[in-house]
Amino acid sequence: MKKIDSLIGIFGALFIVIAYFLMSFNHITSKSIEYNILNLIGGICLAYRVYLDRNYSNFILEIIFIIIAIKSLIL
């Protein structure tokens, strides 16, 4: 189970880095659905991982990240 949990965290980080890369090189914008979905999925994966580690300060940060991504998708 630990191996799967670690992979979830790694994929979460990759989603966020990919979103940042694509935005930085003008493939997507910060207001695009793709950017916000990548950040939402990445935030959920990382929130899951840091929650398991009882790293509550990072968990709170990821929850805020998720809320921002959801709000951006709704607006």
Tokens of 71: 């709000």
DSSP alpha helix (H) spans, 1-75: 2-24, 33-52, 56-74
pLDDT in tens, 61-75: 999 999 999 999 998
Tokens of 69: 């991504």
- Does the pLDDT value for residue 1 go beyond 80? no
The answer to whether the pTM exceeds 0.75 is yes
Measure the CA–CA gap between 19 and 59, rounded to whole angstroms: 20
Amino acid at 35: Y
What confidence tier does 26 reach under pLDDT thresholds 50, 70, 90? very high
Contact 13, 48 (CB under 8 A): no
pLDDT, residue 2, reads 83
Name which of 11, 2, 21 is nearest 43 in CA terms: 11
